[in-house]
Each structure stands twice: as structure tokens, then as C-alpha cells.
A and B are shown apart, each in its own frame.
Chain A
Amino acid sequence: MSAAPTPTSSSLEPLIEFRGISKTYGQGQAAFLALSGIHLGIRQGEFLAIMGPSGSGKSTAMNILGCLDAPSEGEFLFQGVHVERLGRNQRALLRRHYLGFVFQGFNLLARTSAQENVELPLLYRGESALKRHTAAREALARVGLSGWERHTPAELSGGQQQRVAIARAIVTQPLVLLADEPTGNLDSHRSHEIMELLVQLNREQGITVLMVTHEPDMASYASRIVHFVDGEIASDTEQEVRTCS
């Protein structure tokens, strides 16, 4: 197995940097410019909320940030590594080693216990069964789901499922946690619980959190809010971090 590209860490350099990133879908007449020449730098330990109306390019930006998609133009540096030059499998290795994902629809494997769901990323890392087991239990404990290891997603509430998803994302101790509308399918009480969990992970584990949301209430937990409009950054504001209740 080829090793993941090893980024060279430097505290002065931003962890993630977009340099004139554009993304075009389709060709010729039907071409659609989703992102046009974005510049964005994200430092380690930030809690960034990406906001904007649908079609503003925030999902496209998130896909590129998550190394799921390649930009059409521009440079994307992750710890100094030019991600735009990497192939599909190399980007997969970046995801495997440095990123964790939380989705709106939870995206857990059905008919699979919480424990096994959380173990999944470790399986691809080739960890031993014992290590997988203990790490998954720890991750589940960290999201407050001790004792729920044997339950399948169907037996868990929406909030609990999202916690399992967060446990799966952090079980590999990633540098960056990408959350795409993590509270989109949850009621407001559960939403705040999830947000507090994310803030806690950001603060205590130093995980950089990138979150797409359209709810200002959720965005208020972030340390920085970036607004996308028509494929461009309309505003980029840092704010006081909301204290957890």
C-alpha cells in the first residue's frame, strides 16, 4: 500500500488553503460555474461554518475541502500538499488518514451495530481487531453512547445516530472534521446537543471543524463564518466563540 502523502506541518502556514479555486460542471453551453476563483485559508483548530443559499457553491466547496472532488482550476493545499495534483486513490488516502466526515443523513451502515459502524474506518486503516474494538468503544464513550455499542441504527434515535456518525468520524483522530448540515435532520434540542459536542471536540481535541449549515443558530457556535453567494465568498467574519451551556 502506498503511503499517504505526508504533509509538512508548519504553524505559520494555514492548514488548508484555497488559491483561486474554481469548479465548473458540464461543458460548452451547459457549463455551470459553481465556484469562481475562491481564496480561503483555514488555520488549525478553527471552527468554520460555511453558509449560503442553495446553489451558492457551499456544497461544492465542501466536497473539494473533503478531498471528495477535484477543483477545475486553482491550487488546493492541505498542509502544504497540492491536493489538486493528486489522483483519486491518493485523495482517498488523505481522507483515510486526516479527515473525518459527518453527513446530514447520518449515513450509517444499516443492520450494522454502532460498534461495527465506528470500527469501519479503522478496518480500512488495517488496525488490529483489539485496537479497533477499544478505539471504537472509546469514541462511542466520547459522544456519550456507552452501552449502546450493540444497537443498530434502526434502534437508535436521530440524535443518537448522528452521535454514532461523529464517533465514526473521530475514531481515527483526524486533523479535520467535515460536517455537512450535521443538524439538518434533527429537532432543535438534539441539534444543540450535537453542536455542543462538536464545539467540545474542537476545543478539547483541537480538531479543526468545517461545517456547512444554513441555520444561523447553528453557525453561531463557530469561531468563523464564511458566506457563499453565487460561487464567491460574500463575507468572512470571525466571531466570539459561543460558550457551551
Chain B
Amino acid sequence: MFINAILLALREIRRNLMRSFLTILGIVIGVAAVITMVTLGNGATRMVGEQIASLGSNLLILRPGQRMGPAAFGAPNFRLADAEAIRAQVSALKAVAPMVSSGAPLVAGNNNWSSTVTGATNDYFVAGNWKIAAGRTFSEDEQHAGRAVCVIGATIQSKLFGHQNPVGAELRVKNFSCRIVGLLTSKGQGAMGMDQDDVVVMPLRTAQRRLTGNPQDVSVILLSMRDDAAPEQIMPQIRKLMRERRKIADNDDDNFNLMDTRQIAEILSGTIGTITTLLGAVAAVSLLVGGIGIMNIMLVSVTERTREIGIRLAIGALEHEVLLQFLIEAVALSAFGGIVGILFALVSCLGLSALMNMPFEFQPGINLISFAFSALIGVLFGYMPARRAARLDPIEALRHE
């Protein structure tokens, strides 16, 4: 009986291929939109998470100035002694990396490039989760004496040295020459879209002397917590210490800020999650509109096929058999629309994630939900026309022109 109803419905869909296709278009677009939005949104969330993680594990960033951002005008820099004090007084830290940075032109052979040069201790590589691809980090002597050596990122290597091994080569930074002792493993794009590999690192003392000119100031201190550390305990400790050392009165605001990268990751993921939900909801509305399209066509179809329904009833079709036939027709249409929509979504997700440099992951959950929802729409919007068909009077229906 049920199989018969499916057979009848499929026959009817096949008989009206063009119209069936136009009918399901709304559902196809709706399903494709929902799946694409949610899949891309989740991909973006995951990407941001990975990028924040690549900044460093359990990383705290201490900067002068009240808010996050590149500029910190007005607020005094930290002193090297501040970093020493944190190292001495705050336990549960794996690395304390005071650093300075300065933009500088770079020249090697016939190639030149402009980048940001960072002055830091070896702790920087620990805090920033950097791995050495070739060569080594700085020696004790190089750090202490402020030797002209540097470690470069993958972007610098490709811009200035191509495929040659840069370790041991000379790099001209601004007005002095610097020997490359190490090459960093590539990290790829950062959270805000910046290139993390566009980096030159030299010993803190070297940079202070030759680039920033001030042997005591540091602009940023990176703090890497131990895995078992609790940021909610460590952060107030550091803040209190800094307020004391910077002599901030009790009722004045901080003139520095301390950020937990995990917190940033959570905020960003939360924001992307909200946007994903919103876009998904908008797409779901289009799915609903698709459902109304199906109801419309089914109503037209019932009117158009009144005589056919009359024939079926006269031959001995029961009310629920006619109802089932039209209902299955609607569900088959919308479910088929769902399947086509899923295929569309797959193609558009692949294309868009490639375009936006995002990881693509097939998510069975949202695909299943969208499919089930499209079938449900078929039931909801197909029921009314189907009931109308089933309740027709066979005599009236047979007379219908």
C-alpha cells in the first residue's frame, strides 16, 4: 500500500519534470544556503582557534597602554627590570620574554624587503611556540654581548633567499650587517590575517642598541604559563605587581594591559558563532519560503488534477490513499530538493573555503538536519493540498473541466 503510494507519487513527478524541478528550486537554494553558512562558519571558528593556538600555548601578552592594538601612545614602556621582577615573583610561568620591535628595511644580495625586526631573548621562541627549522637559537654569549646575529621566518627566507639555505648568510638590517644563525618553521597566516612568518628575530640587546637606541625599555612582554597554571590566579598577580612598579595610584586606571590569548580566542569564536547562527537563521527562512513554493505548486496541481483525482476515487481509491499520494509527492519533491541542495552546498563549501583559505570539514550533522527539515517542510506544506485532494467529491471532480 505504502509502496504503491510512493510509486504513484514518483510517476507523477516524472510526468512533470520541468515543473518538479522549478518547484524544488526554493528548497535546493534554502538547504544549500543553510549548510554552506553553517559549514563555513564552523570552519572559520576552527581556523581562528588554530591561529590563536599558533600564537603560543597559554600565552599572556603584557603591553603598555590601556587597550589592545598596535599603538600605545602616552603610556610608558616597560623596563627590562619589570620582566626580571615578574620572573622572580610570579611562579607558574614557563617563559618570560621581554621584546622590542621596529620596522626596518632588509637587504640580502640583490633582494630587499621591509619587515618588522623583533629583539628578544630565547624565551621568545618558547613563548611564541616557534620551532627551529634549520640552524639554532641564540647562544648565551650572543645574547649577553648583543652580537649581530638573527633568526628569520619563512617569509623572509622566500623573499630574500628563494630556495637557498639562508643559515650562515649575511642579512643587512637597516644600517648594519647581521649573520643568520637560524630559520623558523612556518606558522602560516595569523588570527587577524597577518603573516606570522614575516619576522626577523635578533637578541634583545642587539635590537635595543642598534634599532631602538634605548638599552632599558621593552615594548611588550610575552608570558608563557605552565600547562597546570590558572590564568585567573596569575593575571591579578602580574597586574598588581605592574601597578606597584609603575606607581599607579589606587584610583587610577591601569596604563598597561594584560591579555590572555585563550580569552581572545573564546571571544572571537563566540562572535563568529553568533554570526554563523544569524546567517543560518536567514538561510532557514529561505528554506521556509521554498516550502511555501511547494505548497503553492501542490495546490495548483490539485486543482489541475481534479479530474484525475475524480477518476482515482471512482476506481476505488480511499481518502487516505489519495491523501498519501499527494503528501508523498510533496515530501518526495522536497526531499529530492534537499538532496540536490546538499550536493550544491558541498560544491559551494569546497569552492568558498578554498577561496577564503579556510579548512573544509564535511559536517554530517547539519547535512542530516537540513535534509530532515526539508522533508518535514514537504509534510507540513504538502498536507493541506493533499487533504483538499482527498476530500473532493468524486462526482464533482469527474465533472470538473
Contact = CB atoms under 8 A, between A and B. Distances in A.
- Minimum-distance CB pairs A-B, first 4: A96-B316, A95-B316, A121-B315, A107-B311
B247 interface: no
| Max count, chain A CB within 10 A of own CB: residue among B316, B319, B394 | B316
Contact of B15 (A92, A103, A112, A125): A112
Interface size class of B (residues with CB under 8 A): 20 to 34
A93 interface: yes
B394 A68 contact: yes
Nearest to B316: A96
Contact of A124 (B307, B310, B321): B321
B4 A126 contact: yes
B142 interface: no
B308 A124 contact: no
A27 B367 CA distance: 56
Interface of A: 1, 63, 66, 68-69, 88-89, 92-97, 99, 101, 103, 107-112, 116, 120-121, 123-126, 168
Interface string B311-329: 1111111110100000000
A97 B318 CA distance: 12
A63 B395 contact: yes
A108 B11 CA distance: 15
Contacts of B7: 123
A93 B1 contact: no
B166 to A, nearest CB: 74
17 contacts: A1-B1, A68-B394, A69-B395, A89-B319, A92-B317, A92-B318, A93-B318, A95-B315, A95-B316, A96-B316, A107-B307, A108-B311, A109-B311, A116-B11, A121-B316, A124-B315, A125-B316
Contacts of B311: 107-109, 120
A103 B398 contact: yes
Given A68-B395, A109-B308, A123-B7, A88 B314 contact: no
A94 B313 CA distance: 12
Contacts of A94: 316
Contacts of B4: 123-124, 126
A208 B200 CA distance: 102
A194 to B, nearest CB: 19
Nearest to A99: B316
Given A92-B318, A95-B315, A124-B316, 13 more contacts: A68-B395, A89-B318, A89-B319, A95-B316, A101-B315, A107-B311, A107-B314, A108-B311, A109-B308, A109-B311, A123-B7, A124-B315, A124-B317
A120 B312 contact: yes
Contacts of B314: 66, 68, 95, 101, 107
A113 to B, nearest CB: 11
Given A126-B1, A126-B4, A93 B398 contact: no
Q: What does DSSP make chain B's interface, helix, strand, loop or mixed?
A: helix
B80 interface: no
A168 B314 CA distance: 12
B394 A96 contact: no
Nearest to B16: A111
Contacts, number: 60
Interface in B1-31: 1, 4, 7-8, 11, 15
Interface string B381-401: 000000000000011001000
A124 B312 CA distance: 9
A66 B279 CA distance: 57
Contacts of A96: 315-317
A109 B312 CA distance: 9
Nearest to A168: B315
Contacts of B8: 123
A97 B317 CA distance: 11
Nearest to A103: B398
A101 B319 CA distance: 19
A97 B316 contact: yes
A238 to B, nearest CB: 29
Contacts of B321: 124
Contacts of A63: 395
Interface in B285-318: 307-308, 310-318
Contact of B319 (A88, A97, A123, A125): A88
Nearest to A2: B318
Contacts of A97: 316
A93 B395 CA distance: 16
Contacts of A126: 1, 4
Contacts of A124: 4, 312, 315-317, 321
Contacts of B316: 92-97, 99, 121, 124-125
A162 B313 CA distance: 19
Contact of B398 (A95, A107, A109, A120): A107
The listed residue with most A CB atoms (<10 A of its CB), out of B1, B7, B313, B398, is B398
A121 B311 CA distance: 10
Nearest to B8: A123
A96 to B, nearest CB: 3
Contacts of A108: 311
Contacts of B1: 1, 126
A123 B318 CA distance: 12
